[in-house]
Amino acid sequence: MYPSVSVIIRGYNREQYIGQAIESVLAQTYTDFDLLVWDDGSTDKTAQIAIEYAKKDRRVRVAACDHRGAVKSLKAAVADTFGAYLCWVDSDDLLSPTALEETVAVLDGDTSVGMVYTAYQLIDTVGRVKGHGRRCRIPYSKDRLLLDFMTFHFRLIRRSVFEQAGGIDPDFRCAEDYDLCMRLSEVTEIRHIQKPLYQYRVHPRSISHEMRLEQVHWSREAIANTLKRRGLADRFEVDLQIRERFSLKRREPDG
């Protein structure tokens, strides 16, 4: 019999953080889950670290694969899971101990809800909390989701609804979760737990930092696609404005 929840951690060269991410999942108060760690062709010790956890806990599986990129690897990982509910945790982030328990309770309690998401906190490279994420302060609205990605981490999704919405679009290079959430909003009810149950790490090597301009481009694509699906493309178009801001910082002394 399959666990009710499938958790995915996808990682690429995350040896610094992968162990902490895995431990945060294994520390869940809700225990009926399996964890698939999908290593996307890392050249560091990410896969080896994950394999050590799999040796100690039968709930952990490791898939060490050729490098495909974040979106294609996530799509492949989802196809290799079986739980009625599914979620993913970025390999540099942390899941709060009651995250699964509290989100599962929402989906178990109301079959009309196909996705539940939580508030989140920002943490730095060493795990210090830097504040609450601004996105989750925005009240959820299917229409406002067109412009504000408030359904940010953490999300638990009913698999049947995930499949109904079409799953992950492999044509996206990033912002695939924004695209998915907008399609989910069109086929199911979405609920927000206004409690920070996820810790989102901000650091220079994060995908959101390294691929910022690409994320803007693909977010625009997701919005444009949504306008077409909703029959609004003849009335609205996406007006993209990028404003760069520069600052100076003191150089570190050589040596």
Return the ∠ at Cα 92 (arms to 86 and 10), rounded to 5°.
45
Give a yes or no: residue 134 inside a domain.
yes
d(CA 61, CA 120): 26
DSSP string, the chain: ---SEEEEEEESS-TTTHHHHHHHHHT-S---EEEEEEEES-SSSHHHHHHHHHHH-TTEEEEEE----HHHHHHHHHHT---SEEEEEETT-EE-TTHHHHHHHHHHH-TTEEEEEEEEEEE-TT--EEEE-SGGGSPP-TTGGGT-----S-EEEEHHHHHHTT---TT-SS-HHHHHHHHHHTTSEEEEEEEEEEEEEP-TTSHHHHTHHHHHHHHHHHHHHHHHHTT-TTT--------------PPPPP-
Give a yes or no: residue 205 inside a domain.
yes
Q: How many domains does the chain have?
A: 1
Can you give the CATH number for the domain in which 210 is found? 3.90.550.10
Give a yes or no: residue 247 inside a domain.
no
Give a yes or no: residue 254 inside a domain.
no
Give a yes or no: residue 34 inside a domain.
yes
pTM: 0.90
Tell me which residue range forms the domain holding 129: 5-229
Instruction: Report the largest interatomic distance among the alpha carbons of the chain, rounded to a whole angstrom.
Output: 60
Give a yes or no: residue 146 inside a domain.
yes
Give a yes or no: residue 81 inside a domain.
yes
pLDDT tens series, the chain, 255 aa:
788 999 999 999 999 999 999 999 999 999 999 999 999 999 999 999 999 999 999 999 999 999 999 999 999 999 999 999 999 999 999 999 999 999 999 999 999 999 999 999 999 999 999 999 999 889 999 999 998 999 988 999 999 999 999 999 999 999 999 999 999 999 999 999 999 999 999 976 655 555 678 888 899 999 999 999 989 888 887 766 655 565 555 666 665
Give a yes or no: residue 32 inside a domain.
yes
One-letter amino acid identity for 35?
L
